[in-house]
Structure 1
Amino acid sequence: MNQLRMGVIGIGGRSSIVQYWHKPDGESVVAAAADVSVESLEKFKKDINPDAYVTTDYHELLAKDEIDAVAILTPDYLHEEHAIQALRAGKHVYCEKPLAITPEGCDRIMEEAERCGKHLMIGFNMRYMSMYQTMKKIIDSGVIGDIKAVWVRHFVGLGGYFYYHDWHGKSENTTSLLLQKASHDLDIIHWLAGSYTKKVSAFGSLDYYGGNMPNDLHCPDCEIKDTCPDVSLNRLTQCAFREEIDVEDNSMLIMELENGIKASYMQCHFTPDYSRNYTFIGTKGRIENDDVNDKIYVKTRKSGSRQEMSDITYEMKKMPGTHGGADPRICDDFISLVLHNKQPLTSPIAARMSVAAGHAATESIRAGGKVMIIDQGKHSVV
């Protein structure tokens, strides 16, 4: 195979990455798309490939023998169904995170991929961001010694717009935002620390969003839209204060990893700013990122060596492409995986373990902070 012919299931918000796969003169072409929205399909043909096959029934796309691989960019609760059906149809699969909304769902997808002998890749694009690749190399160099503690804060500015004005706000669709949103963070913790979460205790609640507004209320039709503090008049317009919302908007986790590292994670969706702050503390120093100013700080403690004489600040360079240059790189890796059997930075096992940690943390929150032991499944690669 010299050129990979791809289909896309779900061409909503995350479908911006499709542009990096459509290279008619290169190694991949996006030849088909499926979505329930006819309007979205028409836009896809206009923006990506006017000659593409489009359908509102994803089964019809999977029936196309000429489609070699499928990218699944649908809502979280549909990933398991779509991934398994694509694998059974003989397609290689790229699936957006989270892989599924339960560990058991992840296991079923991975078992199907193994049975079918097809490649399965997860969309952990944060592993492809220069910020975290640089942190990974610094940590692996040993300059801060052996990691012992991790602190992560995720301030989700515009959290309401992205997660409470649509399907994300219901737990039956996501389990919780500790899967949808934190699956990235939990994976980066696992990746940089070199170990998966063993047990977790968590506290969280719905402190701002949700409420007693009608479930069928949309912002453009609301009589208080001119004064509402969280109005949305764009693509996602369901009321963020509607009664059916049951997903925590403020969560804090304490974790112990298999290698003994202690980690904490905070996620808040009603902050005024957006940032991810990672701090890793080792026996010789610590590393901390500042993604607002594109910097990484390395500080070392007294060690009887040259390290006690200076600290280091890394200035991150701007990379071309969306998500800080990560999207084109992860898309290229999927092509290399299928065409050349080159293993990517991500793994289905890592995807499963981030879901397992987030799922257990959600159970802990809803059980009053109970310590939960993570179902480890079968894994070996972080």
Structure 2
Amino acid sequence: MDRNLFTADHDRYREVVREFVIREVAPNLERWDRDRLIDRPVWLAAGKQGLIGLSIPEADGGGGQPDYRYQVVLIEELARAGAASLISSFSLQDNIVAPYVQELGTAEQKRRWLPGMAAGELIGAIAMSEPGAGSDLQGVRTTARRDGEHWVVNGQKTFITSGVNADFVIVVARTDPDAGSRGFSLIVVETGTPGFTRGRKLDKIGLHAQDTAELFFDNVRVPAANLLGEEGRGFVQLMERLPLERLSIATAALAGAEAVFAETRRYCFERTAFGKPIGDFQNTRFQLAEMSTELDVTRAYHDQAVRALNDGTLSAVDAAKAKWWATELQKRVIDRCLQLHGGYGYMLEYPVAKAFLDSRIQTIYGGTTEIMKEIIGRDLARTAG
């Protein structure tokens, strides 16, 4: 089936991305995994090449190109190289943190953070999850108390993507403990602020190169000017921006599954057993046929969601559908591909093994599969009859 999502401009951009991956990414993947950290040079190289900060307005140092299809191209090419950790890091920067600053920030905040983000000189993070609050953000206990011209932040965050590398963190905090969902605000805490410390770099099952950390706030005094958006509207501001975050996870899931499937398809017609390629056995062919069909069908829905995002019509419900379906598909496809590799699939030198580990988080972060189904189910109940 032909894919008509992209134009000639996207195809030319893909060539630029491929060259970047060959030069800056592929030679460093093993070292990043070994070091449990993606170092700064690739961020600077991506900024110089215009591969990050593409949606940031030109006036703020970015590419001024909000078309999400360019992000799809970048994610697909990184997935082809097996760079899942870098996808996570770049997607956080461009599809989560930058939009918050761009859409909610004051003129001064935009000048302070966006040019550095577009250049790869500043790395941002967002701190939602806590030891006792994951998908249920209303369980957040971190507080920010106004004291004159400052906010005083106290609390703890965990599972924070880019938590080690981040130069600033958007912290979800309670600013009014008696206001329920209207008592949350977003406060930006910058590296070096007294009382702001990082805990462990967490040791994960997969995404080893992607730095994930615990963060601690002990009477951290933050200038009042670091409030992002409106006081008390933090929860609403989070909900309004979740469709893009969830679609970006779906994009990574689909791209990752397609990359592993392509490699497995080649393997099945190169690997022989009982005197012929294993791809010539009916069971293998049926497995490949089923996965190919599921990927094609999922791609059609994903591409429709991309168009809706570009048009400003992607709903939270449709984004939830894309997120849970694509991530569960990724998990399922990679598991089946590993099985087709036999014993070699269990060896980390084969891409399918690393993909098996890296993909497991996809159905959890950004809202679990169960939360996605709850969002969809509530909408069905609300519109019943």
Category of TM-score, reference length = shorter chain: under 0.3
Structure number with the bigger relative contact order (C-alpha 8 A, sep ≥ 6) is 1
TM-score of the two chains, using structure 2 as the length reference? 0.25
* Bigger proportion of residues as helix: 2
Higher strand share: 1
What is the TM-score normalised by the length of structure 1?
A: 0.26
